[in-house]
Amino acid sequence: MEGIVLFLLWSSLLITFAVSAMLVLRKGRRDAQVGTDAALLALGGLFPLVVFLLSCFPYRLQSQARCRRGWVDCFTVGKIALTPLVLWAVAAFRARQVLRPEGKLPTWVPTGLFVGAIVSTVCFVHAYRGGLYRELRPLLAIPLYTAAWYWILCVKTCISSRPKLVWYVIALLTSVPFWLLSIFWSKRYYQSLPETFDCFVVTAALDGHESVVGPLETVERGGTRRRANRQLLVLWRFEALWRRQAPQSHRLFRLAYNRFGPWAARRIRTPLVADMAYLLIKPVELVARAIVSRHGGH
């Protein structure tokens, strides 16, 4: 997953440079400032916007048990509701750094920079406190430099344009609904996650007739004692092996299965249906058993 993220970021950086250059050249300019303006628009506007959107992908949120801070960890997803505020900030950045209109700047420019500084600061703090993958920790520099840049621009613009304080208050009040929506979205997403990181369908199949799905035994897993059969034990071992050998593909599988698995498990309501689920999973169990045995599993 780390390699995919880095590839997307490098690709996004190149694309934003190209788009920024086209946006600047559309004005018909051919002066020496074109390259500088394109770089400013890419690094301070479009690239942080793309990174913000990419960071909303919930690739670490697999179960409620893995959200150490509860729904707050799901702000990664919920912050997509802040996109209008980010677009406002990028437009203000372009007006201040690229267009540079003569005279006093419109009020929406310093207030947009102010809102952008707040959003980027919150995103940096959340990512820093959220325990980003060690390999990706350097990427925290993106929201950090964005926040610092926007705060500096906001102060400079405030000094030069001197907008009334009431406009900053109005900007904050205007952004409140988006923050509330992001909190609501985060909580809803957290509630939609499964409580544990488990083999949902295989576990539900344990409710079948013991003569079919058995023998059953009591094992300890995750600090608790629970029922399991040979099928579940084999798939636990297989998943542990998969997680060690190919963590990226396993993570993608879990993202999909954590959405589909609970839905399918809820439809296994009778012992007969559980028996059928057990038998349908049997070929997967046999393949998993062969792979685990080949890699030295029991």
Are 28 and 148 members of one domain? yes
Are 230 and 179 members of one domain? no
Q: What is the domain extent for residue 185? A: 2-192
Instruction: Name the domain boundary from 157, 192, 227.
Output: 192
How far is 229 from 202, CA to CA, in rounded Å? 9
Instruction: Name the domain boundary from 125, 157, 192.
Output: 192
Q: What's the whole-number mean pLDDT along residues 283-297?
A: 84
Across 14-23, 62-71, 90-99, 237-246, the highest mean pLDDT is recorded for 90-99
Count of domains in the chain?
A: 2
Length of the chain: 298
| pLDDT computed for residue 108 by the predictor | 92
Q: What's the whole-number mean pLDDT along residues 38-67?
A: 80
Confidence of residue 61 (pLDDT cuts 50, 70, 90): low
Any idea which of 22-26, 132-136, 137-141 has the lowest mean pLDDT? 132-136
pLDDT 10s digits, 70-93: 888 889 889 999 999 999 999 999
Are 210 and 151 members of one domain? no
| pLDDT computed for residue 180 by the predictor | 96
Cα-based torsion angle of the residue sequence 77, 82, 84, 88 in order, rounded to the nearest 10 degrees: -130
pLDDT 10s digits, 205-219: 888 888 888 888 888
Helix, strand or coil for residue 198? coil
Are 187 and 208 members of one domain? no
Q: Quote the strand ranges of the chain, DSSP E.
A: 217-221, 224-228
Question: For the chain, how far is it from start to end, CA to CA, in angstroms?
Answer: 29
pLDDT 10s digits, 241-282: 888 888 778 878 877 787 777 778 878 888 888 889 889 988
Are 250 and 278 members of one domain? yes
Are 178 and 225 members of one domain? no
Are 50 and 173 members of one domain? yes
Are 25 and 168 members of one domain? yes
Are 226 and 186 members of one domain? no
**Residue whose pair of structure tokens reads 């999973």 in the numeric block:** 281
| pLDDT computed for residue 4 by the predictor | 64
Are 156 and 240 members of one domain? no
How far is 258 from 256, CA to CA, in rounded Å? 6
Are 120 and 223 members of one domain? no
Instruction: Name the domain boundary from 170, 192, 214.
Output: 192
Are 118 and 66 members of one domain? yes
